[in-house]
Amino acid sequence: MASTESKLPAEAAGEAPGRGRLEGRRVLVVGAGTRRVEGMEGAPGNGRAISILAAREGASVACADLSEEAAAATAASIEAERGSAAVLVADVADPDSCRALVSDAAAALGGLDGLVLNVGILAPFGLRGTEPEAWDRVFAVNARSHGIVAGEALELADDGSSFVFMSSMSGILPGIGMPAYDATKAAVLALARQAAMEGAPRGIRANSVLPGVVDTPLGAATPRPDGPERDRLPIPLRRRGTPWDVAYATAFLLSGESAYVTGQSLVVDGGITTLMLGG
């Protein structure tokens, strides 16, 4: 398997310049921080890469995270590129915090016309290994929060806004052995379709991104009780994804380039779900 660090396009490496694709947009990214993982210091997660790219493309970004330190680090990276960022702290397991987050973002940015729901936590392994409390906790963070935040955003966001829900290849294909996680990522797809249906009369679009095997700190730290190691997975494109691959897919869905796309799922997986299912 080729390394994600060799011969990457500038976009996949996070090195391409901005092109003004989100000029003037005001985007809330929920889950904008990056988890600290030994050996991957400085590597961005999907939320940080999305936030930085959105700002690089001209958006003002509200960086929301449970960790103020993580959100502030993302904002600092944006400001280092002379972008505009605000820092918000929210525990999305708390419904009231979810509701307040949208109005806080709109106040910080002077309005809202973009939303990225990226927050998510992992789950225990196996159906019998998942206690009721774990089901409730994972669904509260990975699914319920998305529905509450999106519902608030449908009330406050401008006409023509775009919402992006971060699902996962796990939402359509089992593999990591975490049924609660897989179930929440499938639920996210349904929530995105509902948001698309409710938002359509006002031109508000909602779509999902489904990352595959991506080299984020969280992904690298995810245990695999069975199956091949990440560096031996036979991915058709012969490399693991980068957070920037996910960020560019998200930027496309936030931008006017996807103005006639809503209620759809964009899989960013190097071909795994379509080219390997029969193998």
Residue 248 falls in the annotated catalytic set? no
Which residues are bridge partners to 164 per DSSP? 116, 207
Sign of CA dihedral 126, 127, 133, 134: positive
DSSP string of 236-276, one letter each residue = TTSS-B-HHHHHHHHHHHHSGGGTT--S-EEEESTTHHHHS
Which residues, in sequence order, are CB contacts of 64 under 8 Å at separation 6+?
28, 29, 30, 31, 32, 71, 88, 89, 90, 101, 105
Q: Six-digit token pair at 90? A: 């929210």
Alpha helix segments (H runs only) across the chain: 46-56, 68-80, 95-109, 132-139, 145-156, 179-199, 217-221, 243-254, 272-275
Cα separation values, 39 from 14, 43, 228, Å = 19, 9, 20
Residues 98, 102: Cα–Cα separation, whole Å: 7
Residues 2, 267: Cα–Cα separation, whole Å: 21
Which residues, in sequence order, are CB contacts of 232 under 8 Å at separation 6+?
1
| SS3 call for 151 | helix
Catalytic-labelled residue, pool 125, 181, 248, 252: 181
Q: Six-digit token pair at 143? A: 């699914």
84 close to 108: Cβ distance less than 8 angstroms: no
Give the active site residues: 181
